[in-house]
Amino acid sequence: MSTLQQDPKSAAADLHELSFISMHLCGNKIIEVKSYILDLKNKGSPAQKGLDKCLDGYEEANSMVEYALIEFASDAYEVASSALTSALIAPNFCENAFKETPGVASPLTSINNDCNSLFSLAQLLTQSLVK
């Protein structure tokens, strides 16, 4: 929950608002991750192939979070939750991309773990709204 404390509005927020805030934090985190991946690619990282796959995975996650926000705004919490579940694939997909190249460790393990936690939190909060 410390992640939610990044947003000052979360202190007085109800479950609905916390879910909304967490989805926005997911979107912001994806932007950060994509920027970091592009920086690594521009520096000529030996893990180019893995970075390309990670970028693709996080692009898809971004689309899913945007879709989740649209559905959330329409009170379609189950659909939003499902979209967030799809976004959860990105961190694991990214991590596995580096296992395909022997001798190349993932430079994104910590970031992927953070994303996994944040996306899971958003999904759980949103799923809690399903009646």
Rg (CA), the chain: 15
What pLDDT sits at residue 9? 63
Residue pLDDT, tens place only, 50-65 = 999 999 999 999 999 9
Looking at domain 15-127, its CATH class is mainly alpha
Please state the pTM of the whole predicted model.
0.89
Q: Calculate helix-pair angle for 77-87, 109-127, nearest 10 degrees.
A: 170
Sorting pLDDT into bands at 50, 70 and 90, what band is 1? very low
Residue pLDDT, tens place only, 15-33 = 999 999 999 999 999 999 9
- DSSP secondary-structure letter at 7? S
Spatial separation of the C-alpha atoms in residues 89 and 125, rounded to whole Å: 18
Q: What are phi and psi of 54, to 5 degrees?
A: -65, -45
Residue pLDDT, tens place only, 71-91 = 999 999 999 999 999 999 999
Decide which of 84 and 131 is more confident: 84
